[in-house]
Chain A
Amino acid sequence: MIRVPRRARLLALLPPLLALALTGCADREAAAPAAPSATASEFPVELRPENAPAVTIGERPERIVSLSPSTTETLFAVGAGEQVVAVDSASTYPEQAPKTSLSGLNVDPEAIASHNPDLVIVESDLDGKLAGSLAKTGITTLVLPAPATLDAAYGQFELVGKATGHPEQGADLARRTKEEIGKLVADVPKPSEPLSYYHELDPTLYSATSATFIGQVYSQFGLTNIADQGDPNALGGYPQLSAERILQADPDLIFLADSQCCGQNAQTVAERPGWSTLSAVKQGRVVAIDDSIASRWSPRLVELASAVADAVTGR
């Protein structure tokens, strides 16, 4: 798994090592690449993403392929949009992203290489196989998996900035997003009795517990999740509920993250058998949210937090 990055790191070490060999001076400290400074867009830069192999990027990437819809959004937000030459078929935002038929789930190294990239960003790379194939053609692969926490998501904004030669913008984006979400949370008055919510992923009632990334956004607002049922980590955080359990739990708020994929809205929910008896339906607290915002860790998390804030305050 770390085969490729290690090779990439070795390559980055090559120039100083050669210099060492020429001067004949053995100095261990000099062999380590200087810690990337946040103020200058200096390359090479060593990146240590969470739960993914470390990568060293030798030069400022000018041809980036993003196979991660979340990172595509971040790339454009940190000002690296002009360096992006291709994005995968699921990268639907922003509109100017150069969408192609590339797949982020079913990766094809040859199709990726045909875009002649110098940096490829993916969400997962089993056993480092993609990175291995791409390294043979001199392409660096950066794996940015789904973060477990909001702070880890902000960390990725910073990291994307560093990787693309926009470290200030990356750090700024991370700080701003954190502040804006913090402000939204602070401005929402906490009810004496915590509100409960149900987050719907699809019409067959798959949900996400509070242990998931999306669940943490709701937790910021002090909401309790009806899918937790004692153990938020049960069933990998994404259990399939029965309609019966949802009616028994009677959530105060219902969030539909299947409004785009599956055409769900407050009306279709009210028409489901038995659902008209739910408090959330009776009180009109069923909120359709954009599926893509609710499933990505992008700067648009602010929009999600804002939708949740509106729902909680009843605006």
Chain B
Amino acid sequence: MAVLRARTRPALTRLRPRALALALVALLAALVFALVADSGGLGWQRVLAEIVAQLTGGTSPLSEREAAIVWELRLPRVLLAGLVGAALAGAGAAFQGVFRNPLADPYLLGAAAGAGMAATVVVVFAPAVTGWLIGPLPLAAFAGALGGVGLSWLLGRSAGGSGTATLLLAGVAVTAFLTAIQTFVQQLNTDTIKQVYTWTLGGLNVTGWHDVWIALPYIALAAIVLCACARLLDVLTLGDAEAASLGIRPGLVRLVLLAAASLATAAAVAVSGLIGFVGIVVPHIVRLLAGASYRVIMPLALIGGAVFLILADFVARTVLPGELPLGVVTAFAGAPFFAVVLRTNKERAA
């Protein structure tokens, strides 16, 4: 309930430099930790020595193959985990603000269902292609995610103007419809179930620099737009009438925010599959720890999401002899942590 109360009466504060610095230090620490630590293959001292050697031009203890592990596999994977985490958490914060609903997440308007349907169709029908600049699966997932949200938006607008309740219901309908198509296509081609299942659970185990360059422009653009619109999001929480009296067009603000958030989500889904829970839990943790203003939440959610997913992916690739789906880690680690933060916050408020 603390969340809800905080949301209806936001404390309009600015982001304190100390909080931002703390978040950036945490991000840097997570990056270095995930790059250096492993389950015993290379040894963290040798990886550190390799990094130092690269920076200073000295000699490295790693072989060519081991160096490729660090620079061609691990570094892009860690960076991509950060990008995807930032995208999902930032988008989640935007969705929660736009819908004024603490349960909103980036997949609310059919992004996941659209991406899932498009991915399934590609896995089932598209021939195995190689050598494309962007593979057919990420391309389809990206287009599907944007298509799903676009469909919800069109349906919501044609049904009831710029209100959020209609849009929410349109999202429910579109999600159900696209999921039905996905399941239908899947049932006709049960031999591809494992491929689709693997994609659905999300993961970064076959990541290269290529994926980082694909996702970076969209996520960076979306992050800038979301941070720039954070103040407008704060105004929106006062209600549409209040916002309009301040000279803001609520419908337009919502459209821009949802478009930016969906762009980030689509880019994340395209390179990592469906990773749940980041978009819903990270903004709430930030809100509980740092304040309810979106000028605070948005930048910290972007950074916090990156930290959270970098660490989750580290667990996903080291805890088992094989890979653990990233979606499993985010929910398993995120849910209890969220519960603790929720409890602590309640005690502090009481």
List residues of chain A with CB under 8 Å of any chain B CB. Answer: 90, 103, 105-106, 202-206, 227, 229-231, 234-235, 239-245, 247-248, 250, 261-264, 268, 272-274, 276-278
Contact = CB atoms under 8 A, between A and B. Distances in A.
A240 B205 contact: yes
Given A204-B198, A247-B65, A261-B128, A273 B321 contact: no
Contacts of A276: 68
B76 interface: yes
B321 A268 contact: no
Interface string B209-221: 1100000000000
A65 to B, nearest CB: 18
Contacts of B128: 261-264
B203 A204 contact: yes
Nearest to A260: B128
Contacts, number: 99
Most chain A Cβ neighbours within 10 Å, of B76, B191, B203: B191
28 contacts: A105-B191, A105-B193, A106-B187, A204-B205, A205-B323, A229-B321, A234-B321, A234-B322, A240-B323, A241-B205, A242-B73, A242-B317, A243-B73, A243-B205, A243-B206, A243-B207, A244-B69, A244-B77, A247-B68, A248-B69, A250-B65, A263-B127, A263-B128, A263-B129, A272-B208, A274-B65, A274-B72, A274-B73
A106 B190 contact: yes
Contact of B205 (A205, A231, A264): A205
Pairs of residues from A and B, 4 with the lowest C-beta to C-beta distance, nearest first:
A239-B322, A263-B128, A273-B208, A274-B72
B321 A103 contact: no
Nearest to B316: A242
B65 A273 contact: no
Interface of B: 38, 41-42, 64-66, 68-69, 72-74, 76-77, 127-130, 187, 190-191, 193-195, 198-199, 203, 205-210, 317, 320-323
A312 B191 CA distance: 31
A273 B190 contact: no
B72 A248 contact: no
Contacts of A231: 321
B320 A273 contact: no
B187 to A, nearest CB: 7
A227 to B, nearest CB: 8
Most chain A Cβ neighbours within 10 Å, of B73, B77, B130, B190: B73
A268 B130 contact: yes
Nearest to A90: B191
A231 to B, nearest CB: 7
